[in-house]
């Protein structure tokens, strides 16, 4: 059988107020907050990148299921900003988590396209 059986999440701790972003662009904060339905945005710390976020998400998944990294057959990592141009983020994550060397790994890119493609 093929399908999604579980997932993990990670949201960075730091926040940036939409009002601060609007101010930098000389826009009306309340109008943007109303249009987007958000008042702040999560932002990674200076030492966090797509690899860190993917690993934290995966660790969240493994803490909440009976699955282990060695049981994983497929790893898709989606990001707007992969840290390396030629080294796939998914292989870094898989190696860090201790995956077997028999899994499908793919980096997905572009906000909406990454989710639908994966």
Q: Could you tell me if 63 and 17 lie in one domain?
A: no
How many separate domains does the chain show?
Answer: 2
Q: Could you tell me if 70 and 112 lie in one domain?
A: yes
Domain that holds residue 26: 11-43
Token output for 61: 């998944």
Which of 66, 41, 54 lies closest to 91, judged by CA?
54
Is 115's pLDDT higher than 80?
Answer: no
Q: Could you tell me if 90 and 73 lie in one domain?
A: yes
4 occurs within a structural domain:
no
Alpha carbon of residue 69 to chain centroid: 18
Q: What pLDDT, on a 0 to 100 scale, did the predictor assign at position 71?
A: 85
Q: Could you tell me if 86 and 39 lie in one domain?
A: no
Concatenated DSSP letters for 24-87?
Answer: HTT--HHHHHHHHT-SEEEE--TT--HHHHHHHHHHHHHHTSS--GGG--EEEEEES--S-SSS
Q: 57: domain CATH number?
A: 3.40.47.10
Mean pLDDT of 16-39: 95
**pLDDT tens, position by position, 88-110:** 999 999 999 999 889 999 998 88
Mean pLDDT of 38-55: 94
Q: Could you tell me if 103 and 64 lie in one domain?
A: yes
Is 86's pLDDT higher than 90?
Answer: no
């Amino acid at each position: 059988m093929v399908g999604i059986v579980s997932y993990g999440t990670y949201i960075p701790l730091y926040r940036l107020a939409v009002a601060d972003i609007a101010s930098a662009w000389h826009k009306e904060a309340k109008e943007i907050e109303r249009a987007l339905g958000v008042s702040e945005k999560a932002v990674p710390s200076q030492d966090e990148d797509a690899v860190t976020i993917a690993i934290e998400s995966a660790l969240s998944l493994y803490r909440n299921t009976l699955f282990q990294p060695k049981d994983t057959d497929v790893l898709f990592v989606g990001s707007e900003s992969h840290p390396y141009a030629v080294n796939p983020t998914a292989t870094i994550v898989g190696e860090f988590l201790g995956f077997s060397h028999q899994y499908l790994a793919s980096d997905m890119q572009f906000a909406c396209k990454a989710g639908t493609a994966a």
